[in-house]
Structures are given as structure tokens and as C-alpha cells.
């Protein structure tokens, strides 16, 4: 079983995201379902978050994903809102909704659904920067407790965001 990610590692990722945003006068927003607002809480709870965090939205069903994030119902519904493309559309949609440069999204499963033969726990995460999807990936968790699964999804997405923004900082200016 994997060990927990250290709190310091997540704090460092959040600080990197914050500094990237502040140094470029960029803003960030979050769209999520599987993480039930945890990602918004993490991004928004740091010191000075009001200077770069525009907000977030939690949408559990395809009707809400369509209404608020412009995720086409025909792309969302057959898969109950859990696909890589839906995660990308959510990240793009939250950027439009909050008029920001960076969008993060998570959609997936934090607990098994035996009635649907769903045993594997996974989520799709996406990151958008200036209207371009720069990260889109299936994220796995070996945790069993749904709250730990949600936290792991958030941590993995935040670490990916930190890594990408550090790379962007070294290679270009937005």
C-alpha cells in the first residue's frame, strides 16, 4: 500500500501554484465531482488565496455539468460523467465560468459500485492553461476509504499542476 503524501509536499505544490498565479496576474478555478469540494477547499484555504483563486463548482450529474460547464450531455451521459474528455471539458468550462487562466478538474469514483460492476477506483483529472488542455490523465488510488481516495486524487492533481507550472515558469511566459 502506498504511503500518504506528506502535508508539506501538498503545501509546497499550493505555494508554487500561488506564486505562478501572482507573478503572472493569473487566476485559477476548480470544477469537481468525485472530490466533493475538497479540491476547492485545498486551493482556496491557503494564505492569500483570494488574490488568485476565483472559486469552484461541484457538479455531480450530467445536467449540472451541461448547465454550468457546457459539457455536452451526449458526451457525458453514456458514461455518467466519468471520462477523460468530460474532465477536459470541465476544466475548460470552469475557466469560462470564472473567467480565469487556469482550470483544474476531477471526475471519477471514490468508492466501488457493485451494482454497476465498478470495482476499480479511478478519476480523470485535467488542467487547462490559457484555453489549452496541458494535462489530462486517469488517476488511480489504492486506498479503500472514500475520503482518503478523494484526498489522493486531489493531491495527485495538485502535484501534477505544480510540476507543469514549474516547467512553464522555466520555459515561457503566459
pTM higher than 0.85 = yes
Q: What is the pLDDT of residues 139-174, one digit of tens each?
A: 999 899 999 999 999 999 999 999 999 988 776 554
How many domains would you assign to the chain? 1
Look up the domain containing 74 and give its range: 27-169
Q: What is the pLDDT of residues 94-145, one digit of tens each?
A: 999 999 999 999 999 999 888 888 888 999 999 999 999 999 999 999 899 9
C-alpha cell at 64: 449540472
Percent over 70 (pLDDT), the chain: 94
First to last CA, the chain: 39
CATH of the domain at 93: 3.90.950.20
Task: Tell whether 20 is covered by a domain.
Answer: no
Task: Tell whether 72 is covered by a domain.
Answer: yes
Task: Tell whether 128 is covered by a domain.
Answer: yes
Amino acid at each position: 500500500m502506498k504511503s500518504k503524501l506528506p502535508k508539506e509536499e501538498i503545501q509546497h505544490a499550493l505555494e508554487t501554484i500561488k506564486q505562478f498565479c501572482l507573478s503572472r496576474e493569473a487566476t485559477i478555478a476548480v470544477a469537481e465531482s468525485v472530490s466533493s469540494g475538497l479540491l476547492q477547499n485545498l486551493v482556496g484555504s491557503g494564505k492569500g488565496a483570494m488574490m488568485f483563486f476565483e472559486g469552484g463548482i461541484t457538479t455531480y450529474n450530467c445536467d449540472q455539468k451541461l448547465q454550468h460547464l457546457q459539457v455536452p450531455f451526449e458526451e457525458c451521459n453514456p458514461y455518467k460523467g466519468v471520462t477523460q474528455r468530460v474532465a477536459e471539458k470541465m476544466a475548460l468550462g470552469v475557466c469560462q465560468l470564472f473567467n480565469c487562466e487556469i482550470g483544474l478538474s476531477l471526475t471519477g469514483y471514490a468508492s466501488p459500485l457493485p451494482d454497476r460492476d465498478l470495482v476499480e477506483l479511478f478519476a480523470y483529472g485535467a488542467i487547462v492553461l490559457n484555453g489549452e488542455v496541458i494535462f489530462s490523465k486517469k488517476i488511480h488510488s489504492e486506498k479503500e476509504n472514500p475520503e482518503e481516495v478523494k484526498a489522493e486524487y486531489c493531491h495527485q492533481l495538485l502535484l501534477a499542476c505544480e510540476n507543469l507550472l514549474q516547467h512553464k515558469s522555466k520555459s515561457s511566459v503566459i
